[in-house]
Chains A and B, each alone.
Chain A
Amino acid sequence: MPKKQIHLAAHFPGVNNTTVWSDPESGSQTDFASFVAFAQNAERGLFDFLFLAEGLRLREHQGRIHDLDVVGRPDTFTVLNAIAAVTTHLGLGGTINTTFNEPWELAKQFASLDHLSGGRAAWNLVTSSDAFTGENFRRGGFLDPAQRYDRAQQMLDAARELWLADGRPVDHHSDQFDVVGTFPIPPTPQGHPVLIQSGDSDQGREFGAKTADAIFSRHGSVEAGQEFYRDLKGRMAKYGREQSEITILPATTFALGDTPEEAAENGHRIRTAQVSPQTAIAFLEQVWGRDLSAYDPDGPLPDIDPDPGAQITRGRVRHEKDPLAVAQRWRELAEAKGGLSIRELIIETTARQSFVGTPKEVARQMDDYVQADASDGFILVPHLTPGGLDEFVEKVVPELQDLGSYRTGYTGPTLRDHLGLREPA
């Protein structure tokens, strides 16, 4: 039996604390030359697609613009159309918010990208609804968070009607939208763009199982990956879908070296650079809800408790609900590990799914993960712009090919071809 094939996507590094800007090799994440270099390398590596994240307001920390992380990004549609000009097969995925856009315009923009790229567009639907971001938009922070998936679903339904109308008039009415008219653009090379989803709540998983072609997950261990994989794919049957119609891609970092020791060293160096002393304190302040600038990042955790009511960071998704419990957990962890400093603890607790080793080892680990149905592949999150993927493409991709788990050439021109998907009905 042929081996299950691994799918790879590449997250363009930018606008977060995982991109190491202090490295001399670190270039600009806004220069077009960086996008060209990154995209062309991903295409050399036969990746399914490149992916751009989005944030529609600069984050704030303690009431001021957060200045420690990489910040500044170009417009998603515009940069993807320009990347289409310098690549031929690579899929072009972008996050576009369902709350701060309207179906007609969004459908036109995605139809244009899919036509102008010859069928390579993908839409990562995100549903953030916060009033903070809303302050940059006409409609403001109008959406009750409970309604965000309703709006996302209605947005998608309306957009899909427009994409597939093929000259027939559309007459869409829902809670969120009234869209009446004849869409002037014929169906695109892919029928419509590939749909990506990344929410991990129960509602998000249900939405993904029903609608998505690809899922970004964040489940690290093989066991956690398998559990998510089973759960998500198990939800598909009730929507009349085959499990092969969704590609699950956990976000993954990696560190390579010629020997296992060198790889581990490189991994540690990257993690240390990602969490500067100032960033360590800022992370701690997010949980504590207090100004902790007086604390030494190389010293122990503060002996004062978090202020559970405070939220001093805006524009960043908060995954932790109970800061007192987090503080307690972190104190125990720091002690169990022999007295971690603040910075060491943050490095420890912000670690993501990561493959560390020689190229051969990393290829083997990735293959094992996918063959065990913990995922269908990975979205790689390199730590450097624009060259963060170069070594992976050069060294790990051939190893994956040797294992028989990775394509040796593109088999079709569209992103649906790369993902093995049919055109939407």
Chain B
Amino acid sequence: MRTAHLAVEVSGFGRHPEAWRQAGVPREALLTPAHHIATAQLAAQSGADFLALPDSFGPGSGLDAVAIAARVAPVVPGIGLVPTVTTTHTEPFHTSKAIATLDLVSSGRAGWEPAVSRTAQEAAQFGRKPAAEPAELWREAAETIEVVVALWDSWEDGAVIRDVATGRYVDREKLHYVDFTGEFFSVKGPSITPRSPQAHPLTVLREEPDSLAVAARWADVVRIEAPDPAAAHAARERIRAAVADAGRDPDTVAVLLDVEILLAADPNAARRELDELGELAPRTLRVVGGPDALVEVIAEQAVDGVTAIPLTLPGGLRVLADEVAPRLLAAGLRTPADPAATLRERFGLPRPANAFTGV
């Protein structure tokens, strides 16, 4: 039996739009660091490999996800931090150094989930260009990822030499212009930020109709939505084939199924809570019940692991930490995490070679 990956995604008081009513605190609590620290601590207690922090420029989005990740990183050890960063209206140069810096302040626990902004509303907020079709948005996202990764490599390890004899602080032979010119923008480089602890923070991508080629080329982790394990397994096969076609080893790309969860020690209590919150069509496989229900889904191993998305907070996450995590360990589906491991190490990935030098 393979061990399974476990991630947690949190936004607001949970995915259910009425979840704030159950939370027992005002909505403004979402603006406080205390809320985000408490949530990240619960996710860390569940032993999850990373915490996904969704973001967009759309309505209903809250604080900046990279900011939240940076704010919790120094005080919540032992869990990866993966904010969503949209590529449509942002500057790749800024994105590159922001994620490298998240890696720095978290001692190698950073990832990012590149996403696109589809709506005319988001375009109007920036007033620079109209909304585009998804295929075009994902071509632009691919350019962003390419240049971000190149900027991460633009400082070789050991570029800082502090050579008093020659007066040189840095060895400029170890700094590289990226000279990127694409369909949407050009970037000269090098970065202003040195190469980060993981060199390449983990790249997480969602499977969307137009994102598969980008994921096949760049993703370390692909997140999928599927109504049941059979559909999830089929998606995994599809993604592995695309990764192989892109010339990469499919075993280096983990496919994680999004699972909406509403868990309680008593399965009936979980169902009653959802009834009280009201109808919400599932976006992906949903598990409402006791902790064993989620363990069974993970044990089926249709994919490489799951991203648990609580419908409510902190309820669902508390059960994940207190009840599900020990069961996964006992069943041999998870091993105790090394608190000093980088996020890449948690996924069994080496620190990558530098594209400019091959080392």
Chain A interface residues (CB < 8 Å from chain B): 21-22, 28, 30-32, 36, 55-58, 64-65, 67-75, 77-79, 81-82, 84-86, 100-102, 104-105, 108-109, 111-113, 115-118, 135-138, 140, 177-182, 184-186, 276-279
Contacts and interface: CB of A to CB of B under 8 A. Distances in A.
B127 interface: yes
Nearest to B66: A78
B33 A118 contact: yes
Contact of A77 (B98, B125, B159): B98
B128 interface: yes
- Most chain A CB atoms below 10 A, which of B61, B92, B104, B184: B104
B170 A72 contact: yes
A101 B62 CA distance: 20
B190 A58 contact: yes
A109 B59 CA distance: 16
3 closest A-B pairs by beta carbon, nearest first, are A178-B127, A278-B167, A81-B70
B71 A179 contact: no
A113 B67 contact: yes
Contacts, number: 183
Contacts of A84: 33, 71
Interface in B327-346: none
B121 interface: yes
A46 B92 CA distance: 37
B33 A74 contact: no
Nearest to B32: A115
Interface of B: 28, 31-33, 36, 57, 59-64, 66-68, 70-75, 89-94, 97-98, 100-102, 104-105, 107, 121-122, 124-128, 155, 159-160, 162, 164, 166-172, 175, 184-190, 192-194
Given A105-B89, A184-B62, A72 B155 contact: yes
B98 A78 contact: yes
Contacts of B164: 22
A111 B101 CA distance: 19
Given A72-B194, A105-B90, A279 B68 contact: no
Nearest to A182: B59
A185 B62 contact: yes
A65 B126 CA distance: 34
B97 A74 contact: yes
A116 B67 contact: yes
Contacts of A101: 91, 94
Nearest to B74: A85
B115 to A, nearest CB: 14
Contacts of A108: 57, 63-64
